[in-house]
Amino acid sequence: MKRNPKELEITHRSLSRRALLLGGFQLVFAGGLAMRMHHLQVDQADQFRLLAEENRINIRLLAPARGEIFDRNGIALARNSPSYRIIIVPEDAGDVDKVIKDLSRLIEIDPKDLERAIAEMRRSPPFLPVTLADQINWQEISKVAVNAPALPGITPEVGLARIYPRRADFAHVVGYVGPVSDYDLDQITDPEPILRIPRFQIGKVGFEAKRESMLRGKAGAKRVEVNATGRVMRELDRRDGVAGADMQLTVDADLQGYVQARLGNESASAVVIDCENGDLRAISSAPSFDPNLFVRGISIADYRELTENTYRPLANKSVQGTYPPGSTFKMIVALAALEEGIIGTEETVWCPGYLEVAGRRFHCWKRGGHGNVDLNTSLKRSCDVYYYDLALKVGIDKITAMAQRMGLGIRHDLPMSAVAAGLTPTKEWKSRNRGEDWLIGDTANSSIGQGFMLASPMQLAVMTARLATGRSITPRLIKSIDGVEQPDGAGTSLGLNENNLRTVRKGMFSVSNDRRGTGYKSRIIEETMRMAGKSGTSQVRNITAAERAAGVIRNKDLPWERRDHALFVSFAPFDKPKFAIAVIVEHGGGGSTAAAPIVRDVMLQALYGGTPPLAAYPKKDRNRIKAQQERLERERPARLQDASDRA
């Protein structure tokens, strides 16, 4: 096929033209691609570099070691103990089912844990470790370690777990930690990222919760490079965290242990305060519970047992419970009257067994009355009529002012949960809260620590210490933080007349040492350690006129929850006060019978710094006391062993 050369020339020219056109278009397109490259790689380079770094760098938080808590002598109250767990890396294990079967032949795996672990393995990539068993003991972990070659992908891991070696003794003071809950996170605005570490624990109640920020420490962090599936390729750098502060408390673990044992199964509370510096030596609330149960998460059955117990083991009665102080309040009224110069020590009041106030009869606890009563006798024998009379002369305002001066009705700043302020009523308090006028009868009721008056055992101990010293003793719980001594609570003079104070103290001395005193039976006979005290029996029910006529029902014939509260406050030695103690036995009956013996025993234990000699007790008590000492020694629970002891 021949073609016309001219024709060929035309087609060739047309093709060349279109080839150049297409080539031009290609060049323009390539230019566009180059511009796009410039836009991405030069103009936006910084932004994309940042995104690339975000892709590859993961920040992993390192949990800091929680600060430990010790008593005044360095005995551990809350420690971090090594806890072992077993983890599996499915990828290294290969046949996961077989490895788990082999492992369960060596140690017991909780089926619930196993179920959770298998579910977790299914969700996460195979190179991420999954916890198979937690809180493994030393023997079991050794078994696993020895058989490690036969268990591919299984590694024992050591972590730190909180333990409370003194178990129930400090449950209410130190409190406990627990895993962070969703509720906890909701409570905090902008929670620290560390709280989201799985298994991270924070203080839930008590000192652990109140000083959480200092105990927790600062989280460390490591930066790791991860690939697209999240596998860690290498560690880039690491910044270690700062461990939480170690805290030394003012409490004495051995004394507290004794007090807790002495209170036994009563629903009771005892507070021992140092009269020299306000150190709280013991703060007990009974019955108690083992805080170690809460650390891993308490079982529903155990928890129900605690909440359904009528003796309320979870409540911290020493600072959180408030009770009518009863006759232990009488010193306040006496002191207020003495300071006002309303009475002299010699003046007497006639007690016929009742006082008529505004047309209503206010009864003395002693039906027949006390006859002629002076101030010393009124305390010694706890005459109510004397104080009705006195209170009406002094007026409620002066009494309340004195009560607050002595540390009642005000909130003491202590790092414990739910520290109660108690209540010292005033006229405007009543009109504001009850919408009623203050009645003269209210003053009479207040004078014997009944009516609206409320105080916690800790407040009563503070009151006693202030009476004993005349100084504004304030309670102190933290002795030192990381070795730095904290300011003490010795306080300054309350500015009270020393003679008046001495008069009141003498009355308290008579309570415990005069043959007719209400606390005479529970006295100390060791001359250098003589005790001064005051009993209190506070009613929780009204006694009707009919009942009074027929004879007041005795406590032991009443159901437990309607019986009187038994109180006793005391300081010793009388000449040079060292400790002040307040004890309350809920619904325990009479203060002198139920509370005073406890106070005496605890006082001697505190003064001697251990088991006191029987010579300090009255002769006829010694056999009984000896038996009691031996029983308590036997019953003192063993200190909790931790994993480091085994290792």
Partner 1 sequence: MSYLEYNAKTTPTGLRKILFLNWPLVLLLISVACIGFLMLYSVAGGSVSPWMEPQVKRFGMGLAVMFFIAMVPIWFWRNMAVVAYLSSIALLLAVEFFGTIGMGAQRWIDLGFMRLQPSELTKITLVMLLAAYYDWLPREQTSRPLWIAIPVVAIMVPTFMVLRQPDLGTAILLLAAGGGVMFLAGVHWAYFAAVIAAGVGLITAVFQGRGSSWQLLKDYQYRRIDTFLDPSTDPLGAGYHITQSKIALGSGGWSGRGFMQGTQSRLNFLPEKHTDFIFTTLAEEFGFVGAVSLLGIYMLIVVFCIAAALATKDRFSALVIMGVSLTFFLYFAVNMSMVMGLAPVVGVPLPMVSYGGSVMLVLLAAFGLVQSAHVHRPR
Please answer whether residues 334 and 507 qualify as being in contact, where contact means their C-beta atoms are separated by less than 8 angstroms: yes
Name 19's Cβ contacts closer than 8 Å, sequence gap at least 6: none
Asked if residue 125 binds partner 1 (CB under 8 A), the reply is no
Q: Report 197-226 residues binding partner 1 (CB under 8 A).
A: 225-226
Please answer whether residues 402 and 393 qualify as being in contact, where contact means their C-beta atoms are separated by less than 8 angstroms: no
CA distance 85 to 92: 18
**SS3 sequence, 177-226?**
EEECCHHHHHHCCCCCHHHHCCCCEEEEEHHHHHCHHHHHCECEEEEEEE
Asked if residue 608 binds partner 1 (CB under 8 A), the reply is no
**Spatial CA neighbour of 464 closest among 578, 582, 377:** 582
* Among 148, 185, 188, 233, contact with partner 1 (rule: CB under 8 A): 233
**Spatial CA neighbour of 596 closest among 514, 532, 527:** 532
Please answer whether residues 500 and 336 qualify as being in contact, where contact means their C-beta atoms are separated by less than 8 angstroms: no
C-beta of 12 vs 624, nearer to partner 1:
12
* Among 6, 28, 33, 187, contact with partner 1 (rule: CB under 8 A): 33
C-beta of 47 vs 497, nearer to partner 1:
47
Asked if residue 631 binds partner 1 (CB under 8 A), the reply is no
State the sign of the Cα–Cα–Cα–Cα dihedral 632, 635, 641, 645: positive
Asked if residue 189 binds partner 1 (CB under 8 A), the reply is no
Burial status of residue 337 (CB atoms within 10 A of its CB: 0-12, 13-18, 19 or more): buried
Alpha helices in 124-176 (DSSP H): 138-146, 171-174
Q: How far is the CB of 40 from partner 1 (least distance, A)?
A: 5
Identify whether 287 is preceded by a cis peptide bond (ω within 30 of 0). Answer: yes
> Which residue stretch of 48-56, 87-95, 397-405, 446-454 sits at the interface with partner 1 (rule: CB under 8 A)?
48-56
Q: How far is the CB of 94 from partner 1 (least distance, A)?
A: 23
Asked if residue 637 binds partner 1 (CB under 8 A), the reply is no
CA distance 107 to 112: 15
> Which residue stretch of 46-54, 238-246, 344-352, 457-465 sits at the interface with partner 1 (rule: CB under 8 A)?
46-54
C-beta of 18 vs 626, nearer to partner 1:
18
Name 641's Cβ contacts closer than 8 Å, sequence gap at least 6: none
Asked if residue 358 binds partner 1 (CB under 8 A), the reply is no
CA distance 263 to 32: 89
Q: How far is the CB of 28 from partner 1 (least distance, A)?
A: 11
C-beta of 34 vs 146, nearer to partner 1:
34
Amino acid identity at 262: R
CA distance 331 to 382: 10
> Which residue stretch of 19-27, 146-154, 469-477, 631-639 sits at the interface with partner 1 (rule: CB under 8 A)?
19-27
CA distance 629 to 624: 9
Q: How far is the CB of 226 from partner 1 (least distance, A)?
A: 7
Q: How far is the CB of 280 from partner 1 (least distance, A)?
A: 57
* Among 29, 350, 560, 608, contact with partner 1 (rule: CB under 8 A): 29
> Which residue stretch of 1-9, 309-317, 337-345, 508-516 sits at the interface with partner 1 (rule: CB under 8 A)?
1-9
Asked if residue 52 binds partner 1 (CB under 8 A), the reply is yes
C-beta of 35 vs 614, nearer to partner 1:
35
Asked if residue 307 binds partner 1 (CB under 8 A), the reply is no
Asked if residue 433 binds partner 1 (CB under 8 A), the reply is no
* Among 62, 70, 72, 229, contact with partner 1 (rule: CB under 8 A): 229
Please answer whether residues 198 and 205 qualify as being in contact, where contact means their C-beta atoms are separated by less than 8 angstroms: no
Q: How far is the CB of 59 from partner 1 (least distance, A)?
A: 16
C-beta of 37 vs 150, nearer to partner 1:
37
Output DSSP code: residue 66.
P
* Among 40, 59, 158, 543, contact with partner 1 (rule: CB under 8 A): 40
Asked if residue 623 binds partner 1 (CB under 8 A), the reply is no
C-beta of 17 vs 393, nearer to partner 1:
17
Which residues face 340 on adjacent strands? none
> Which residue stretch of 18-26, 109-117, 214-222, 343-351 sits at the interface with partner 1 (rule: CB under 8 A)?
18-26
Asked if residue 28 binds partner 1 (CB under 8 A), the reply is no
**Spatial CA neighbour of 524 closest among 586, 564, 572, 560:** 572
Q: How far is the CB of 239 from partner 1 (least distance, A)?
A: 22
**Spatial CA neighbour of 403 closest among 446, 352, 344, 361:** 446
Asked if residue 236 binds partner 1 (CB under 8 A), the reply is no
Alpha helices in 348-383 (DSSP H): 375-380
Question: How many residues of this chain interact with partner 1, rule: CB under 8 A?
Answer: 44
C-beta of 35 vs 145, nearer to partner 1:
35
Q: How far is the CB of 31 from partner 1 (least distance, A)?
A: 9
> What does the block give as tokens for 168?
């129930």
> What does the block give as tokens for 426?
């005033």
Checking DSSP bridges between strand 565-572 and strand 532-538, what pairing results, if any?
antiparallel
Output DSSP code: residue 629.
H
Asked if residue 10 binds partner 1 (CB under 8 A), the reply is yes
Alpha helices in 251-374 (DSSP H): 253-263, 292-295, 300-308, 330-340
CA distance 445 to 27: 105
C-beta of 53 vs 561, nearer to partner 1:
53
CA distance 530 to 511: 11
Please answer whether residues 561 and 455 qualify as being in contact, where contact means their C-beta atoms are separated by less than 8 angstroms: no
C-beta of 18 vs 367, nearer to partner 1:
18
Asked if residue 14 binds partner 1 (CB under 8 A), the reply is yes
Q: How far is the CB of 227 from partner 1 (least distance, A)?
A: 4
> Which residue stretch of 17-25, 99-107, 276-284, 575-583 sits at the interface with partner 1 (rule: CB under 8 A)?
17-25
C-beta of 225 vs 276, nearer to partner 1:
225
Q: How far is the CB of 99 from partner 1 (least distance, A)?
A: 27
Asked if residue 124 binds partner 1 (CB under 8 A), the reply is no
> Which residue stretch of 227-235, 358-366, 407-415, 418-426 sits at the interface with partner 1 (rule: CB under 8 A)?
227-235
Beta strands in 507-592 (DSSP E): 532-538, 565-572, 579-585
* Contacts with partner 1, residue ranges (CB under 8 A): 1-3, 7-8, 10-12, 14-16, 18-20, 22-23, 26-27, 29-30, 33-34, 36-38, 40-42, 44-45, 47-49, 51-53, 55-56, 225-229, 233
